[in-house]
Chains A and B, each alone.
Chain A
Amino acid sequence: MSLFFPQKITLGYKALMNAKLVKLTQRPAFIICLLSLILAVTAVLPRVSSQLSFEQFANNNLSTIINQSLESGFNDTDIFSYLTDQLETTYQRIETESVLPIIKSCSMQIIDWKVNQELPISSISATTVTWKEGALQHQLLFELDCHYNLLNWFIFFILCSTLSLLVFSFWPTPYSHRQQQWLLQTSNTLNRSQQIEFNKFIDALTSPQYQWLETHITKKQWQTSALLNCIKHNNFRLLDSEQLFWLDIAFSQSDNLDDAITIAKHDDNLIFGLKEKVIFVHGLKIKLPITPFFYYYWYASKRLQDQHQGWLLNPASTKPDRQLGEELAKLMSEYGGSTRAINDLLENGLTPKKLDQNRNRIKDELISLLGETHAETYLFSSKRDLKTTRFSYRLTIDGQKVSFT
């Protein structure tokens, strides 16, 4: 037992990480933006901050020391090349400090030095230090040439990117409109953890499926765990509103979710299982009483054979059909029908009453199970024969949808 525990943890952890990372990789724009941000900050900020720092130092300190040198000059224009050299030599290697050293050092490159003259327009990376020597305005233009420690930067970039992506992968996604709706609606019926469980799947549902879920939660027709398993089921997503109806019917009968879904997805056909005397309506197994079953089968076979397009004319009430009666009795005896019914048919033949009675019994059974609307497809259509004023009946369902096993 203890051997499996760490295994479970690692598997669980892997599953979690995969889920989180998948979520993140679905947002490539975000990843690119984040990495660009990290790149921009770590590449640009060291340079900019070094420059600002040195600029502040230069502004505060250089003027005094330069002016001191100028106290002893009389229109000495040579002094500026000397001062430029001295400054560049002194600041050949300006050490930088940082929590993460991306830049090692910088060096000062003097571009121009104007006294009481306009400086030419310079690049953004150049700094201007200005000060006054009495009435003279000095403008010293220089650039910092910084040396990057590429290895440091690269390591830092990788570490930072990995860490931040990891952190952001745990960022919760906001609820969708439907999820918010769900939370409101089920605030009384579900507890928090159940709500969260459902929330993961409800966005994948189609509108009819969601409505189906809503109804079931409110009416508490199914157990919450069953509902959850249902919407998690791979095949549930494929069910349309019609099939959802069948799902309900099937589940109320069997309580087995897989079977219920299979039935829901089933073709809307009618299958007769002669051995067990059961019918499969849209895949749903229904056991009819024996005699109605045979009558149903009888009509079905007529429909399948397509004699007179499946129409079976009621025999005259005064004159029962002996031949049909014998056929039906033979069928019944072959497959274990009721002895009484068989004898009745053999003695009295097929009467309209028998047909009507059994049809009604089938109708009652199916309607009680499927409701009038859905039972209709599998019940009978009638037409009146003008010649004899008797009724003809046939299965409404298309002959191709009928089969026998």
Chain B
Amino acid sequence: MNFIYTPWGNRVAGTLLIIIFSAALSALSWHSTTPTLPQNLYTYTCNVHNAAAGSTLKIRNVMSNFSIQFADQLCQSDKIYKAGIEKVEISWPSSEQLTAQLLINQEYNFVFSRHHYLKGLSDEVDSFYQPILSVSGFRIVWWHKGKEPVMTQEFFANKTVGVTNNTNSHFSYLTPLRSLANANITLQPAQLKYFPTPGSLQQGFLNGDVDLIMWDKQLLSNLKPTPDIQINHSKKVWRIKGLDWYASQKSLENKELICEFIEKFSVYEPFFSTKNNLRLQSSYEC
């Protein structure tokens, strides 16, 4: 105890006490958070204008582009309101999340997909869903960071090809691989590079991480600012298989609803057609 009475010992012990005190105070004041993750970030919901109570209109899209604007359009629609709908919920989950159960339960009022895919999930799908609006697939080409690509084994021999992890995607996986197979081009496993998203695929190509990708003809002009890069695309063009909007049997009972859906989606036609030469074709009588 004499240690505390020496000037040096007093300071040391005092400092120690203050440190312990600060540590204790800090421990008591330490806060932690317990945040939860949102269920997903690929769903957008809007409330139908003036609606008090009613059902939720569920739409499943394949991509995020225009989804939110489309849903907002529907929410503003009088006809949607009259159809007794309170909310419009649009989502763009990854394709593997679509299950047979969801189709059989008619979980979605509208699904944007391809027939073979839905049929592959559930053989009975035709009794639950029917196509109402078809959208032709857009056209893509092979892009190469260098001279114009040709579909020969020699050309592809020492080059890397980029695709996405989404093996259900026609645009960024199936069509590229199919085009190579059709041209009898075999790639070594190391030549195939996978990317998590279409955006990263595009960026990877622009960075030079891969030599070749398939993309629409507006690869560079879509980007703002337009990068100053020398790239060339193949003369040959491939058209991706088109998709259809499918309506559930339950929804088909309401003609007004279907027609309103088609009309609101058709708003985007001029945009699609000028950019990608897409066409909409309705198989439903409005």
Residues of A within 8 A of B (CB): 37-38, 41-42, 45-46, 49-50, 53-54, 57, 61, 65-76, 78-79, 82-83, 86-87, 90-91, 94-103, 106, 116, 133-136, 160, 164, 168, 171-175, 180
Query: Which residues from A are CB-within-8-Å of B117?
Result: none
Q: Is the CB of B7 within 8 A of A73?
A: no
Chain B residue with Cβ nearest A176:
B7
Q: Is the CB of B200 within 8 A of A133?
A: yes
Query: Which residues from B are CB-within-8-Å of A87?
Result: 38, 41
Chain B residue with Cβ nearest A54:
B33
5 A-B pairs with CB atoms under 8 Å apart are A46-B30, A68-B42, A76-B64, A83-B41, A98-B29
A136 to chain B, nearest CB (A): 5
The 5 A-B pairs at the shortest CB distance, nearest first, are namely A134-B200, A174-B10, A69-B41, A73-B64, A135-B204
Q: Is the CB of B33 within 8 A of A53?
A: yes
Stretch among B14-22, B177-185, B256-264 lining the A interface: B14-22
Q: Is the CB of A38 within 8 A of B25?
A: yes
Residues of B143-201 at the interface with A, using a CB-CB cut-off of 8 Å, are 164-166, 171, 195-201
- Asked whether any CB of chain A lies closer than 8 Å to the CB of B254, the reply is no
Knowing A72-B64, A73-B197, A172-B10, say if A49 contacts B35 (CB, 8 Å): no
Number of A-B contacts (CB under 8 A): 174
Query: Which residues from A are CB-within-8-Å of B7?
Result: 174-175
What size tier do the contact residues of chain B reach? 35 or more
- Asked whether any CB of chain A lies closer than 8 Å to the CB of B222, the reply is yes
Interface hub of A37, A68, A101 (most chain B Cβ within 10 A): A68
Knowing A82-B44, A100-B29, A134-B204, say if A71 contacts B196 (CB, 8 Å): yes
Residues of B within 8 A of A (CB): 4-7, 9-11, 14, 17-18, 21-22, 25-38, 40-42, 44, 61-66, 68-69, 92-94, 164-166, 171, 195-204, 207, 209, 222-223
Query: Which residues from B are CB-within-8-Å of A72?
Result: 42, 61-64, 92-94
B168 to chain A, nearest CB (A): 11
Q: State the majority secondary structure of interface residues on B.
A: mixed
Give A82 to B69 CA distance when docked, in angstroms.
11
Query: Which residues from A are CB-within-8-Å of B223?
Result: 75
Q: Is the CB of B94 within 8 A of A45?
A: no
Chain A residue with Cβ nearest B171:
A74
Knowing A69-B40, A133-B196, say if A57 contacts B29 (CB, 8 Å): no
Knowing A75-B222, A134-B195, say if A68 contacts B28 (CB, 8 Å): no
A101 to chain B, nearest CB (A): 8
Query: Which residues from A are CB-within-8-Å of B28?
Result: 98-100
Give A352 to B61 CA distance when docked, in angstroms.
143
Knowing A72-B93, A76-B65, A174-B7, say if A90 contacts B33 (CB, 8 Å): no
Taking A46-B31, A72-B94 as given, write out 17 further A-B residue pairs in contact, using a Cβ cutoff of 8 Å, ordered by the A residue number.
Answer: A37-B22, A37-B25, A41-B22, A46-B29, A54-B35, A65-B40, A66-B41, A71-B94, A72-B93, A78-B69, A90-B38, A96-B33, A136-B203, A174-B6, A175-B5, A175-B6, A180-B6
